[in-house]
Amino acid sequence: MLTTLAIIFVFGSMVMIHELGHYMVAKWIGVKVIEFSFGFGPKIIGYQGKETLYALRVIPLGGFVKLHGMDPEVDENGQAVIAPLEDVRSFMNKPVWQRMAVIGAGPIMNFVLAMILFVSVFAYLGVPTQGNSNVIGSLLKGKPAATSGIQPGDRIVAVNQESTPDWNRLTEVIHANPNQVLSLTVERVNGKQRQTVAIKTEKDAQTGFGMIGIAPEVTYMHASILQSTHFGLERTVDFTNLIVVTLTQMITGKIPAEVGGPVMIAQAIGEGAHEGLANLLGLTGVLSIQLGLINLFPIPALDGSRLIFLLIEGLRGKPLNPEKENLIHLVGFVMLMVLMIAVTYKDVVRLFVKAG
């Protein structure tokens, strides 16, 4: 039940804030909004406002805002109709910069949501401060340390009989020995027992450092709203840079292209929910940044491609052929759905293999 509620919260907040960005700016510049929907496919429920239909649809993998004049509309005779040039409430009859503002508002709102969530976490928990003791704060699942029997709270006092009095020295020794078997002298949580644990390090693909999957103790210091805002903005920028670098390295082949679909994301959300509200909010912030960035990619059917078409229109002084542009977006949408199905299938297979 908790996982289900968490998934609804995460996907719902990311999608709704994105579409709300399109909606608000469209309203602001005077474009008629025909529909504001969460999900795709057949309508489950809906409310018809003065001029906008607000709907919940069957497939909860996104949402959309339908703007008057953005695409051909079907009249009562089943014919495709394009809004006339004198229609001041038509999206296509607005200046290029205003249309770009409507399209760009969606991804921008995803970054705003991320910053709000990070600020909330810092205001609630405080600002995290990494300690420098040789005490293990947490373990990464599936990594060498987690499978060796070491536990959070254990103290690593030596590596290969070399003293490691603090975290800096401990990580220096581990980083210097990728793909090597290390002998760790571990002082158990109760401080009354020591034992030697042999662990083979992994080589980090990006840095080449040896890694065993441990993290230091973290303490939280109270922060004012101003400090929380500063750290929230800083965290948003840091995660954005990290995601951009990671995606770039995947595209260039520097690191393996590990792509997760809705199933994997849902699994991560479930784990985050069980680890506490702060972890869930932080995860939502990171996923919101990813959604904003991906939507800015120049891929047909995504906001990024529409911005490219508008930029071209602005440079050449006239729009591209609407029928050709709509066809490109339709083909792109179909390809995205096929990719989504393929990635989802891969996620499901991975879960079954892991369970087996």
Q: Are residues 95 and 156 in the same domain?
A: no
Question: Do 10 and 59 lie in a common domain?
Answer: yes
Q: What is the DSSP string of 135-157?
A: BEEEE-TTSHHHHTT--TT-EEE
Separation of alpha carbons 46 and 56, rounded Å: 6
Contact between residue 38 and residue 59 where contact means Cβ atoms under 8 Å apart: no
Q: What positions carry a catalytic annotation? A: 19
My answer on whether 144 and 65 are in the same domain is no
**Is there a single domain that holds both residue 181 and residue 215?**
yes
Pair (6, 112) in one structural domain: yes
Q: Tell me, what's the pLDDT at 313?
A: 87
CA distances to 52, 70, 231 from 129, in Å: 48, 49, 12
Residue 230 resides in a domain: no
Distance CA 77, CA 133 (A): 74
Is 81 contained in some domain? yes
* Domain coverage including residue 75: 2-124+279-355
Residues 102 and 141 in one domain: no
What are the tens digits of pLDDT across the range 25-76? 999 999 999 999 988 888 999 999 889 999 999 877 678 899 988 776 655 5
Helix 303-316 to helix 96-125 angle, to the nearest 10 degrees?
140
Same domain, 21 and 91: yes
Q: Which of 104-108, 174-178, 329-333 has the highest mean pLDDT?
A: 104-108
**CATH code, domain with 202:** 2.30.42.10
In a domain, 206, yes or no: yes
Please indicate, yes or no, if residue 234 is contained in any of the structural domains.
Answer: no
Average pLDDT over residues 94-105: 94
339 pLDDT more than 80: no
Say what the pLDDT of residue 70 is: 79
Mean pLDDT of 168-183: 89
pTM for the full predicted model: 0.74
Same-domain status, 45 and 111? yes
Identify whether the C-beta of residue 217 lies closer than 8 Å to the C-beta of residue 129.
no
Mean pLDDT confidence for 182-198: 81
Mean pLDDT confidence for 227-233: 90
Nearest residue to 120 (alpha-carbon basis) of 219, 236, 201: 236
Q: How far apart are CA 26 and CA 67, in angstroms?
A: 8
CA distance 283 to 272: 7
Does one domain contain both 172 and 61?
no
Q: How far apart are CA 92 and CA 25, in angstroms?
A: 14
- Pairwise CA distance, residues 235 & 116, whole Å: 11
pLDDT confidence of residue 153: 86
> With bands split at pLDDT 50, 70 and 90, how would you rate the model's confidence at 355?
very low
- Region 287-303: what's the mean pLDDT? 87
Under the banding of pLDDT at 50, 70 and 90, the label for residue 302 is confident
Position with higher pLDDT, 226 vs 277? 226
Q: Which of 193, 219, 245 is the last residue of a domain?
A: 219
Task: Please tell me whether residues 109 and 11 are part of one structural domain.
Answer: yes
> What's the CA angle centered on 219, arms 149 and 160, to 5 degrees?
40
Q: Are residues 17 and 118 in the same domain?
A: yes
Say if residue 41 is in the same domain as residue 142. no
Q: Considering only residues 124 and 311, tell me which one the structure prediction assigns the higher pLDDT.
A: 311
Find the DSSP H helices in the chain.
2-29, 96-125, 144-147, 167-175, 225-252, 262-274, 277-295, 303-316, 322-355
Query: Is 68 among the domain residues?
Result: yes
Assess if residue 261 is contained within a domain.
no
Last residue of a domain, one of 201, 219, 237: 219
CA dist., res. 104 & res. 295, Å (int): 9
